[in-house]
Amino acid sequence: MDRAHQINATKRYTEDDLDLLGRTFEETDLRAGTAWDMLKHSSMELPDWFKTNLDPFSDEYEAQQLRMWQAISGRGRNYDPEVDELEVIGPGVDAVRFPAFYVARHPGAVQNAGNHLIAMGSILQHSGLKAGDWALEYGAGFGQTALALSRLGVNVDTVDISKNFCGYVKENAEFFGTSLTPHVGTFADLPRGRDHFYDLIYFYKAFHHCLNFRHLIKTIKSVLRPKTGRIILCAEPIFADPTPAVPYPWGFRLDSETTSVTRSRGWLELGFDQKFIVNLFQSNGFKVRHIPCPQTMYGEIYVIEHRDDVVSLGNYWLAKKDAEGWYPPESEGRWTKQNATIPVDASRNFSALTVSLINHLPVQKVVSLRCGDETRSVTLQPSQIADVRFRNNGSRSVDVSVECHRPTEISSSPDTRPLGIFVSHIRYL
């Protein structure tokens, strides 16, 4: 208890405290008014062996995260999803009448059900689906969202590593007589092969269980309906601001609640910096929109679609860290402050891109741009428009940086912001 008091006071714990957290989790199941109250809302300090300067795309980075899983889970072996992602299901499951959250009877059960139902509503509302379309859910569990879509006439495939969960989904499909088909498999498995397209591919509290998420993104893009297909991430641990729980671009979440679950059950529980994961999708040829949910984080979603050939900065959503270099969007584009960046497609399905600049100010503007290993400098006179061209160099992840050497304040204008340059759009050629 002395150590628990110390953790409660500092909200920090170390690798040596993981046994304490795991035991307390198993004894209390995170219930309020128990010994867990002393440990909640704390985060683990990075071990002495952890290197913070590794490339997040490197094999060494992934190997270090797997070493972190071994430390947190207490399992002295490699992670194996077939073994370590086993579900926790009580006896006597009634998959039709009382599936998932409907079976709970604890004091917070109704509120918890509300969170899940709001999340399901968010997915349906932003799915863009109609009867006859095709949807694919990874990590479906009991498949309640998939069932709802299928009851609305959507053809739905689910993929889950659990044979039990797939059995429950099948039971519901047969009971309701819907086009809902479960498949036992892992992330990036394609139930109907590479020639079948889906109008929606979605993840509800599941994407963060995929270690090889970079391969997953490329795989699902290959079966996403061209032009109109969507991907939805719902209730995923994506953090716009720095947090002790995820002190790196991606990796294991270090909050006490998550590490305790991993210590007890062995589950893979990743978290992501928002800029990293959003830019990863954008560099693979997607555009991303974040849709917050004021009622519950369960309903927070990211809608991911194929990028357009012409990307208007006036309606292009940016991750928070990228948006800090820009003023809010306007109808025709967006002003930079001084140094601004925007992620661009890094795939090989185009030969070049152009960045369109407009000098709306009554003074000359000198602007430097960089994309990959190319740099450009351009001088714009008042009212001048310039298209700055970059070749596609095949980098794995690319930002266009726009640096305006002297932000300008126009005292005679009602807009007194120090303005850089106005960027209207990016065009892929």
**Separation of alpha carbons 62 and 281, rounded Å:** 19
Sheet holding 180-184, edge to edge: 180-184, 155-160, 134-138, 200-204, 230-234, 301-306, 286-291
- 87 or 62, greater pLDDT: 62
Give the pLDDT mean for 139-164. 97
Q: Which residues contact 153 (CB under 8 A, 6 or more apart)?
A: 130, 131, 132, 179
List, in sequence order, every beta strand (DSSP E) within 152-239.
155-160, 180-184, 200-204, 230-234, 238-239
Question: What pLDDT sits at residue 46?
Answer: 97
Give the pLDDT confidence of 255-285 residue by residue, as tens digits: 999 999 999 999 999 999 999 999 999 999 9
For 172-178, what is the mean pLDDT? 98
Q: What is the pLDDT of residues 303-333, one digit of tens each?
A: 999 999 999 999 999 999 999 999 999 999 9
pLDDT tens digit string along 16-41? 999 999 999 999 989 889 999 999 99
Q: How confident is the model at residue 161 (pLDDT cuts 50, 70, 90)?
A: very high
Query: Mean pLDDT across the stretch 160-166?
Result: 95
Q: What pLDDT is recorded for position 397? A: 64
Is the pLDDT confidence value at 396 over 70? no
**What number is the average pLDDT over the span 330-357?**
93
Q: What is the reported pLDDT for 181?
A: 98
Give the Cα separation of 239 and 302 in Å (integer).
12
- Please give the angle made by the CA atoms of 143, 145 and 150, to the nearest 5 degrees: 90
* Model pLDDT for residues 182-221, shown as the tens digit of each residue: 999 999 999 999 999 999 999 999 999 999 999 999 999 9
What does the pLDDT read at residue 283? Answer: 93
118 neighbors 298 (Cβ within 8 angstroms): yes
Q: Angle at which helices 18-28 and 256-265 pack, to 10 degrees? A: 80
